[in-house]
Structure 1
Amino acid sequence: MEIKLSDHFTCKRLLLFAAPTIGTVVIAITYDVIDGYFVSNFIGKTAFAAVNVIYPFQLMLSVVGYMFGTGGSALIAAQQGKGDEEGANRFFTMIVKFALMTGAVMALLGCLFLPEIGALIGATPEIMEYGLPYGRTLFLFLPVMIVGYAFQSLLITAERPQFGLYLSVANMLSNIIFDYLFIVVLEGGMVGAAIATGIGACLNGLVPMCYFARPNSSSLRFVSCGMEIKPLLGACYNGLSEMVEDMSTSLIFVFYNYQLLRLAGENGVAAFGVVIFVEGFFTAVFCGLALQANSIVGYHFGAANFTELKSLLKKGIMLNLGFGLLMFVLARFSASVIAGLYVGYDAEVCAMAEEALQIYALAFILQGFNIYASAYFTGLNNGKISALIAFARTFLVQTAAIFLLPMLLGTAGLWLAQATAELVSALLAAALLYACRREYCGEG
């Protein structure tokens, strides 16, 4: 069944349209899950801790792609809603070009400042012995990785979300094959793990670029154009919330690692590694629903279809709250199995990881609602409110919780920090949705 951005969306239709994107995000998360499994079981827990130290910094740079993708998608979809196909293609081309150039700059910065970043967060020399070759090798692939992140949203706007799913499946399979080859067979260590991840990332970026450079059946294509500063800045500003959210998440990981190194040492960082891999995998549904909301809401906002905008908000909230409860139950009851899979060779780390995941699971209940509310405002081209929700959720409240709750509850306070942030942010998001209702109700 072909689904268009201009369609009326029921809950079923939203899920069907979001399914390829959800699958894409789920599979994208497995890249890190697979890397973590091979590194932990075939190189060791110190190497696993190193991945968890380097991963936030690498993510902090690569999430620029989400800014281009989500902000650009809303801008492009609005042009499509107005019937300006030429303008949509021009903006699409500029965004991809600029994402690639930005990635090259970010890669250089990453390679130069990685040792200083590791020292700043208190990583031990033993951890950085594994972390430096892993990070520097991975940064060589960063330009294409950033473009790949951007295409996660842009493919939805092009009405080809299934394309992203196919690429993610190919990426996952290549990651498994090359992780096994470079880590187990060739004993390439951390460099091998980074190369395996980088090869897969090339599929997500290079294949779509080749597709849109040729005549195709999608609603978008590359065209000859220069760089227009105003629409590029508009896309960056509008997608700022998604970049703020993911970059804040990266900084939060750094704060977690800093506190864990202080309170629980290397074992605490390894246990947290299990939590963040599972958190990413379990929240893929929320991210998938949010990514498709950018394009759908952006299209109907451009078309001034306020009836559909109200319907999308109501149905999106219902779906995300329902999935949030499901994710909470799954995380609670699967904690022991997941901990054993990653760090079962170390009883102390395994017990810590199981406890952490069971407490952290509370965050999943409201997480989807907050992510969707932020994405909804991005679709309305209101990057300011979207960024406010994202910043409060992923950085402001959670940072305070990370440093204050352990004073009262010890290490357990760290595992409650995310749930605390989700609760406070849900109250803020609900208030802002009510206060800004004229934007999607068409009143006044």
Structure 2
Amino acid sequence: MQDNILHHEKIPKLFLTFCIPAILSMLIAGMQTMIDGLFVGNILGSNAMASINIAAPFMQLILGLSMVVSVGTQSYMGLRIGEGNVSKAQNTFKTFIIFIVIAGIIITILGIGFNEQIALFLGASDVLKESVCLYIKTISMFTIPMAIMFLFGFSNRLIGHPDLYFKGMLLSLVCNLFLNYILIAKLDLGIVGAAIATGMSYSSALLMVSHPLFSKKSTINVFSGTFDQTTILPVLYNGSSEGICSLSAAISAYIFNMAFMNIAGESGVAAFTAINYIGQFGVYVLFGISDGIGPIISYSYGGKLYHRVKEALKLSYFVGLGIGSLVFMTLFFFGQTFIEWFIKEDPQIIHLATQGAKLYSIAFFMNGFNIINSGYFTFIGEALKSVLIASSRGFIFILLGIICLPKLLGLNGIWLTIPFAEFVTVILGILLLRKKVSN
């Protein structure tokens, strides 16, 4: 059934069918962090919030590995199914179930047995060390179900169930609200309760995304196939841009914090944080578009339906530009209103953030093109180009901009660093696309 849908259904209908659930899933994932922060910050206090922030890289290790495997597996399987090589796709699925279980066991052992060493490595102070250790130990126990949930959710898109991942994330959001309230507010389980709420909420989505893959009638299922070690490196390589995105985001956030601290102090950091909260929702939508077109691109490319690849890509660019323009207008004309959701009592920061938002918002005319391009090259199996785009917009040109622009433009130079990085990456992306067409 899914083969027929991806092969014959009109691209605009496929776009809506696949992209809307993907966009909503990304938005829900963004809300999860905010919910955790509200409960922990308001009930457990600043030390607990700091402990979770220090433990965040360990959590990112779990999520990053999950996304590398899930995106890489989905793209590789989509190409193989499009080529008609269903057995290779099935072997890939079976291989990475086994891979996740083995990797998950290793991460769990590290979290339980070496949490103190990990906490110290991540910079936990004597005051926070115990809480950081508890969080790492607890969240590590959920590594395997969380990782399998992402793999199953992304794989469902290839067998006719693009909505299940969204439904699973929606269930996860509801569970996160409920469990945070019960475990933290009512049972007073503290930092352990916060970790359990996060782990169980993501794991609960596994109940939603599993059932099609336990049917032997599905093109891809947990019963068929054999372990195929030849698929491991291609899948991890193809999904590596997801890991680069996570790493670049962490590094660039550090760079911006240091730059704002040097020029504008704590007010500058607070202003950037407020704007980033707003801008990230636009970025989540754009990443949702990129995720959503993945099965369409990989299947069509594998089946040599290149006209459908071009049609899906053009439609994605058009919608991405529309979304980016909407975010630009929101930040440019109504930035102060949204900033005051996060900052109410400091006029200096509000003014700084409002002026900065007008410059920062320029990036949204371009980042949709770059995000979609990075995803496109992943979905057709050209991971190096995807990594090049992801690292260029997320790290390389941000580092170059943050070194040069503030010297020329002062504080405005920092705000313009992201638009600068996106603009240069657009040029790079056009060159890579032209080279691809010429080949």
TM-score, normalised with respect to structure 1: 0.84
| 1:72 match: secondary structure | helix
Greater shift after overlay, 373-382 or 248-257?
248-257
For structure 2, the 5+ residue unaligned runs are: none
Partner of 2:71: 70
**Number of the residue aligned with 1:442:** none
Aligned residue for 2:289, secondary structure, equals: helix
CA RMSD between the two structures: 3.4
Distance 1:240 1:267, change over 3 A: same
Deviation by residue 1:274-294 (Cα, 9 ceiling, x = unmatched): 444434332222112111222
Distance 1:230 1:129, change over 3 A: same
**Pair 1:291–1:184, CA change in 2 (3 A):** same
What pairs with 1:152-231 in structure 2 (closer than 5 Å)?
152-205=153-206, 207-208=208-209, 210-212=210-212, 214-215=214-215, 218-231=218-231
Deviations 1:356-380 (A, max 9, x none): 6554333322111111111111121
SS at match of 2:174: helix
Structure 1 residue 39: Cα displacement: 3.0
Secondary structure of the corresponding residue to residue 38 of structure 1? helix
CA contact (8 A) 1:144 1:206 kept: no
1:223 Cα deviation (Å)?
2.5
User: Any idea what the Cα deviations from partners look like across 1:66-91, whole Å, max 9, x if unmatched?
Assistant: 22112211211122112233332221
Inter-partner Cα distance in structure 1 for 2:350 and 2:146: 32
In 1, the alpha carbon distance for the partners of 2:184 and 2:346 equals 21
- Map 1:311-322 to 2 at 5 A: 311-322=311-322
Change (3 A) 1:155 1:335: farther
What is the CA–CA distance in structure 2 between the aligned matches of 1:41 and 1:129, rounded to whole Å? 20
Change (3 A) 1:85 1:91: same
Percent identical pairs in the alignment equals 27
Flag structure 1 segments of 5+ consecutive residues without an equivalent: 440-444
Q: In 2, Cα distance between the equivalents of 1:348 and 1:192?
A: 37
In 2 relative to 1, CA 230–191 (structure 1 residues): closer, same or farther, beyond 3 Å? Answer: same
- Relative to structure 1, is the Cα distance of residues 107 and 371 closer, same or farther in structure 2, using a 3 angstrom cutoff? farther
In the alignment, the residues of structure 2 paired with residue 347 and residue 66 of structure 1 have an alpha-carbon distance, to the nearest angstrom, of: 40
Alignment equivalent of 1:118, drawn from 97, 109, 122: 122
Report the residue type matching 1:385 in the other structure: K
CA distance in structure 1 between the aligned counterparts of 2:294 and 2:422, rounded to whole angstroms: 21
Task: Give the match's secondary structure for 1:6.
Answer: helix
The farther-off stretch of 213-222 and 283-292 is 213-222
CA distance 1:55–1:277, shift in 2 (3 Å) = farther
2:141 counterpart residue number: 140
Query: 1:52/1:321 Cα in 2 relative to 1: closer, same or farther (>3 Å)?
Result: farther
Give the Cα–Cα distance (whole angstroms) in 2 for the partners of residues 412 and 127 of structure 1.
Answer: 36
Describe the shift of the 1:433–1:173 C-alpha distance in structure 2 as closer, same or farther (beyond 3 A): same
Residue 419 of structure 2 is matched in structure 1 by 419
1:371 aligns with 2:371: yes
Deviation at 1:413, TM superposition (A): 4.5
Q: Conserved in 2, the CA contact under 8 Å of 1:369 and 1:426?
A: yes
What SS does structure 2 have at the residue aligned with 1:278?
Answer: helix
Using the alignment, how far apart are the partners of 2:49 and 2:357 within structure 1?
Answer: 17
Contact 2:22 2:288 in 1 (8 A): yes
Structure 2 distance, partners of 1:402, 1:49, is 27
Residue 173 of structure 1: CA displacement?
0.8
1:97 aligned to 2:95?
Answer: no
Corresponding residue for residue 24 of structure 1? 25
